[in-house]
């Protein structure tokens, strides 16, 4: 979502970095480009104006212009002000001292509210909570069925009663949760295609009946400034305690994410980063700021790796690498674990400087389709072929190519890569690095 903005900001700071000393005119020219980049990213004009005023006041100070690294000081100021814009504190749900905690999700139809309810349940269960999903949307066709299906997928109970109106249903669900020892109730309320008085009246009735600890708006980040307007109206009429921005993995310009908290004053709690039911991330403003400035996000990368890579398997894999017995089956396992971490582009963006290296050196970015092709080839092999790829001859290659929808050339390329990997691992385990890597460690 922030790729275009990130590239433009990196270009601006790159040009500043090539200047040994900055003048006030240099800073003004750079700030003009930063302002245009933010406006093109669909950030609210009012927010951009306030942001740029704060940045310029600090950037033209003596401490910056007279410092030994003025360009770095400007980047630091932009980073700090970006943090201020996004909110300095990470988003956390308020947990009631006496359970159950009631979380009411609100929003327009099509914002991803029902799916987000299930994602939130998955996230809370990882934290040791016992969530109950409540189907409080009797109006949208199949809304109840959708939530019940999602509940079965994630093994979380769903409370529904077609005889009750949403306010009474919500109150009954809280009583049911208390009796069943479920300590978080997630209310999936009804949405509309637009903000209507009847929608707001029903939400106010639910709020009055159950006194929710959190009222969270689920907003589609790809709708741009419309999401900001919707958040402002919901906040004024219902009183929001937090926001969840969905579709943050999309290709929209991202201005809503940079504007919504500043305009509404409501903190962002979570961001949706994909379609999978575990693709809901806690909101960390500092990590988002570093991503936007092209500095990567190592902490999130480590957390994802810890979730998807098993420690005992990693130790076995380490031994195989040292002995040069890394098989195609092991390779397949690593690819599948990597893909489970999320879209490959997101993973690469978390590595500091990786996107810039790929762009500067004209390196072809490894695409998701490349991993899928390798996965298909290995899965079309027999278990014995995966452990002993040296037996794969012409007839076997033709069979594997037919099974994977690839060509013999694709299979040759994979086998050559695997052979080179094995050789490199053997050399590294014996302390002899390949010649083309030796220069990296001098």
The full DSSP string for 251-320 is SS--HHHHHHHHHH-PPEEEEE-SSSTT-EEE--HHHHHHHHTT---HHHHHHHHHHHS-HHHHHHHHHH
| pLDDT of 233 above 50 | yes
Check: CB of residue 68 under 8 Å from CB of residue 74: no
Q: How far is CA 340 from the centre of its chain?
A: 13
pLDDT computed for residue 367 by the predictor: 61
Confidence of residue 303 (pLDDT cuts 50, 70, 90): low
Domains of the chain: 3-86 (1.20.120.140), 101-295 (3.40.50.300), 301-441 (1.10.260.30)
d(CA 253, CA 38): 9
pLDDT in tens, 15-67: 777 776 777 888 888 888 888 888 888 788 888 898 898 888 888 776 666 66
Q: Higher-confidence residue: 312 or 397?
A: 397
Across the range 162-190, mean pLDDT stands at: 94
Asked whether the beta carbons of 110 and 244 are under 8 A apart, the reply is: no
Band of pLDDT at residue 170, cut at 50, 70 and 90: very high
Could you report the per-residue pLDDT of 317-365, keeping only the tens digit for each?
667 666 667 788 877 877 777 767 666 666 666 555 545 544 544 444 4
């Amino acid at each position: 979502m922030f790729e275009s903005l990130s590239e433009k900001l990196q270009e601006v700071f790159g040009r500043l970095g090539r200047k040994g000393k900055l003048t006030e005119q240099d800073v003004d020219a750079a700030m003009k480009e930063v302002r245009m980049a933010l406006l093109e990213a669909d950030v609210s004009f009012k927010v951009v104006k306030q942001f740029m005023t704060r940045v310029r006041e600090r950037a033209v100070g003596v401490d910056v212009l007279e410092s030994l690294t003025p360009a770095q000081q400007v980047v630091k100021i932009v980073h700090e002000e970006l943090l201020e814009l996004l909110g300095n504190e990470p988003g956390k749900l308020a947990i009631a001292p006496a359970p159950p905690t009631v979380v009411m999700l609100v929003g327009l139809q099509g914002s991803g509210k029902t799916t987000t309810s299930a994602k939130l349940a998955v996230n809370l269960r990882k934290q040791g909570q016992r969530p109950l999903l409540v189907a409080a949307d009797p109006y949208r066709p199949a809304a109840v069925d959708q939530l019940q299906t999602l509940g079965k997928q994630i093994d979380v109970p769903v409370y529904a009663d077609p005889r009750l109106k949403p306010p009474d249903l919500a109150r009954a669900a809280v009583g049911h949760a208390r009796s069943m020892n479920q300590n978080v109730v997630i209310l999936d309320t009804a949405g509309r295609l637009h903000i209507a008085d009847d929608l707001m009246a029903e939400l106010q009735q639910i709020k009055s009946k159950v006194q929710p600890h959190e009222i969270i708006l689920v907003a589609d980040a790809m709708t741009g400034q419309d999401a900001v307007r919707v958040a402002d109206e919901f906040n004024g009429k219902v009183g929001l305690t937090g926001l969840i921005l969905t579709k943050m993995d999309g290709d929209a310009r991202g201005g809503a994410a940079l504007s919504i908290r500043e305009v509404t004053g409501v903190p962002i709690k979570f961001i949706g980063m994909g379609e999978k039911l575990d693709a809901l991330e806690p909101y960390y403003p500092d990590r988002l700021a570093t991503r936007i400035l092209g500095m990567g996000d190592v902490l999130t990368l480590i957390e994802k790796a810890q979730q998807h890579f098993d420690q005992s398997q990693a130790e076995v894999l380490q031994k195989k690498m040292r002995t040069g017995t890394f098989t195609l089956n092991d390779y397949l396992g690593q690819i599948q674990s990597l893909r489970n971490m999320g879209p490959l582009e997101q993973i690469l963006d978390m590595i500091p400087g990786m996107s810039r290296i790929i762009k500067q050196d004209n390196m072809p970015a490894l695409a998701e389709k490349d991993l899928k092709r390798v996965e298909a080839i290995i899965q079309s092999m027999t278990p014995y072929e995966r452990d002993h790829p040296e037996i794969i001859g012409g007839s076997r290659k033709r069979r594997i190519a037919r099974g994977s929808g690839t060509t013999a050339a694709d299979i040759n390329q994979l086998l050559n890569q695997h052979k080179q990997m094995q050789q490199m691992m053997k050399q590294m385990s014996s302390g002899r690095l390949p010649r083309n890597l030796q220069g990296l460690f001098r």
